Amino acid sequence: MKAKWVFCLFLVWGLIGCRAGPSGDAASDAPAGGRRRTELTVFAAASLTDAFNELAATFAAQNPGVQVVFNFAGSSQLAAQLREGVPADLFASANTTQMQAVIEAGRVAAGTDVLFVSNRLTVIVPADNPANIHALTDLAQPGVQLILAVAGVPVRAYTDEIVATMPAEFQQRFYANLVSEEDNVRQVAAKIALGEADAGIVYTSDVTPDLARRVQQIPIPAAQNVIAAYPIAPLADAPHPELAQRFLDFILSPAAQAVLARWGFAPPPANENP
């Protein structure tokens, strides 16, 4: 009986050993070879999703053992989370307003943020353009169903800035046509691609190759458009400060800037040619 009990004990310990890594942690927590993976957490505006996912793969390849973990959402939502103390290593916002809110909350040190890209706004409509929209002014026509991001999200703030320069009658009719407000710009783009409304306003970078087959772009004239400036900064209490700075430096590098340009972003305003 005692021999059987000892045998069972060794069997249990053997099973535990098979399920644990070299240090006793679960093997899935570390990559092959037993080296623990470091997760760099980046809070980033939803419009950066495609470009940052591609850049993360390159950064991880250049930094073995590092995995970039993203929280993509509207910048106002991300800023609110950061002000509440949610841990992160970097914050990339679609406007300076939300970055400033995080700076004022003490989560980002003043002067550590830097502009890294810019963007422009565009009107998009479903591929068949059911409302026959051909210009920004058409968005105020009776019966047009319009989708925008919710107030506070940078793309909405930029949209409101454009609309504020238009005649009062246009402004009234424009907002009267609003049928839905989305949490971020990617949700606006997705709903227009699905034909759930007649038009929406997004960034030009949101018209990705996949989306371009399902929507039409109606350009906003340069004289009426705005430049969306994107800042990025490491968190003052970043869990991995050196790695956070390394990722920021990588984003500013010519190679990363070329990737961002391919995804529809322009250089930051200070470097942008009029």
Domain ranges of the chain: 37-117+230-271, 121-219
Picking from 63, 67, 66, 70, the residue whose alpha carbon sits closest to that of residue 42 is 70
Whether the Cβ atoms of residue 110 and residue 102 lie closer than 8 Å to each other: no
Owner of token pair 């005692």: 2
Whether the Cβ atoms of residue 202 and residue 210 lie closer than 8 Å to each other: no
Packed helices 254-262 and 49-62: angle between N→C axes, nearest 10 degrees: 150
pLDDT tens for each residue of the chain, 274 residues long: 444 443 343 333 343 333 333 333 333 344 444 567 899 999 999 999 999 999 999 999 999 999 999 999 999 999 999 999 999 999 999 999 999 999 999 999 999 999 999 999 999 999 999 999 999 999 999 999 999 999 999 999 999 999 999 999 999 999 999 999 999 999 999 999 999 999 999 999 999 999 999 999 999 999 999 999 999 999 999 999 999 999 999 999 999 999 999 999 999 987 544 3
Question: To 5 degrees, how large is the angle CA 22–CA 28–CA 33?
Answer: 50
The Cα 252–Cα 238 span in angstroms is: 19
Q: Do domains 37-117+230-271 and 121-219 have the same CATH topology?
A: yes
Q: Fill in the amino acid letter for 230.
A: Y
Residue 84, number of CB atoms within 10 A of its CB: 9
| pLDDT reported for residue 36 | 79
Whether the Cβ atoms of residue 265 and residue 205 lie closer than 8 Å to each other: yes
User: What CATH superfamily classification does 121-219 receive?
Assistant: Periplasmic binding protein-like II (3.40.190.10)
| pLDDT reported for residue 8 | 41
User: What CATH superfamily classification does 37-117+230-271 receive?
Assistant: Periplasmic binding protein-like II (3.40.190.10)
Enter the pTM of the model. Answer: 0.85
User: Which CA distances in Å does 46 have to 66, 82, 231?
Assistant: 22, 16, 14
Whether the Cβ atoms of residue 227 and residue 80 lie closer than 8 Å to each other: no
Q: Which two tokens stand for residue 81?
A: 């989370």
